[in-house]
Amino acid sequence: MTQRETATPTAAGGIAQAVASVKENIEKVLVGKGGVIELTLAAVLSGGHILIEDVPGIGKTTLARALASSLDCTFHRIQFTPDLMPSDITGINFYNQKSGEFEFRPGPIIAQVVLADEINRATPRTQSALLEAMGERQLTVDDVTITLPIPFLVIATQNPIELEGTFPLPEAQLDRFLLRLRLGYPTEDEEEAMLTRFQTDDPLKDLAAVLGASDIASLQDAVREVHFDPVLRNYLVQLVQATRSHGDVELGASPRATMGLFRCSQALAAIRGRDYVTPDDLKTLAPLALAHRMILKSQARLRERTPESIIDEILAQVQVPV
């Protein structure tokens, strides 16, 4: 049997084994980011999208390309700029003079893994071209609806430091990202290992596929079988409800956030070899899945409060089920 055949999951242990092989493959290129890779794969298995907010040169593009190669997925990179138009993303219908008919020229959004690089440099009009694709896994161009491939993952990046010439992402756009992640700088040992690994060649060029698109679809179906205790479901709902009733919050997390956190917790549990979700899974994911969806009141911002600090406060206050 081939490596791809043996990786097809039948239970939580099979899911963990399959994901571990993908994680190990990506780590051939990306050094010291095992935790971020695990969370990225959890988003893939739960059908969510990722916003990576970090400074340039950290490895955001490398992560996206290595993920696409490891999963044998089509990959397109969109460089967002102020002059980018929505049709540059979705594609256009054009008149073919040879055939005498209109033909559709697909845009880069039609791929399995799409890197939206520096997404906040495009205008809100262009950013909105992603809304339907990310929310409904389909695209409408001139009244024609196109179903996007499976899996479909958008990995968007933005620089939190350089704000000149940028357009902040609206709430509707942020709400379509399942997780907001940060890679962070490597340690001294990790940076030295990176130099050693890339000394003679670029391992990304020869990165082989570990799983295929059909395997990902099977993994996503298997993740839905992970047990989520009703008591724990109530705990999840209480956490989300608390973001809406907190005195410092103008707008709390949406029901889409509730469902995303639910699915991602199942995926993370399976990745860690369990067929059931624990409170620790929710505690790990809550800051990453909820904080970017919250809008604080102006008085709270003046007091330098952050959504992350409020999530920490909520996690400490809401009673954890035993």
Does residue 191 sit in the same domain as residue 255?
no
Does residue 35 sit in the same domain as residue 180?
yes
CATH of the domain at 287: 1.10.8.80
Does residue 194 sit in the same domain as residue 245?
no
pLDDT tens digit sequence for 68-111: 999 999 999 999 999 999 999 998 888 777 877 888 888 999 99
∠ at Cα 111 (105, 115), nearest 5°? 110
pLDDT tens digit sequence for 170-199: 899 999 999 999 998 999 999 998 898 888
Please give the DSSP secondary-structure letter assigned to residue 276: B
pLDDT of residue 11: 65
Does residue 199 sit in the same domain as residue 295?
no
Mean pLDDT of the 135-155 span: 89
Residue span of the structural domain in which 116 resides: 3-220
Identity of the residue numbered 129: A
Q: Is the pLDDT of residue 128 over 70?
A: yes
H/E stretch holding 312: helix 307-317
pLDDT of residue 92: 86
H/E stretch holding 13: helix 12-26
pLDDT of residue 7: 42
Report the distance separating Cα 48 and Cα 315, nearest Å. Answer: 23
Does residue 198 sit in the same domain as residue 138?
yes
Task: Please tell me the total count of domains within the chain.
Answer: 2
Q: Is 298 helix (H, G, I), strand (E, B) or coil?
A: helix
Report the distance separating Cα 177 and Cα 173, nearest Å. Answer: 7
How far apart, in Å, do the first and last CA atoms of the chain sit? 43
pTM > 0.85:
yes
